[in-house]
Structure 1
Amino acid sequence: GVLAIGGGRAALAIYPEEELCVILLTNLTGSSPHRIVEKLAPLLWQK
């Protein structure tokens, strides 16, 4: 999910099968943290 608070944004993604949870916080207005998480998560569960 994505949460907007003031100028900041946050994204949370849970991947139970990979035993992975990714939380991304940013204070960049107009950013898309959910897109970053979608690209970052596969890199993390390869390890």
Structure 2
Amino acid sequence: MNLNIEQKRLITATPSGAMLVRGVAGSGKTTVAVQRAGFLLNNYCLD
């Protein structure tokens, strides 16, 4: 799936608390949430 600029911005945003992802069906909410989880694990989790 090709991400748009806003989705990329949400995925790579600096963590600052909980984030709510909203949108219509088929807008990529699950993709953004999964990509965000991976980004946070790879960039902010301590070993």
TM over 0.5: no
**TM-score bracket, shorter-length normalisation:** 0.3 to 0.5
What is the TM-score when the length of structure 1 is the normalising length?
0.34
Calculate the TM-score normalised by the size of structure 2: 0.34
Higher percent of residues as strand? 1
> Which of 1 and 2 has higher RCO (CA within 8 Å, sep 6+)?
2
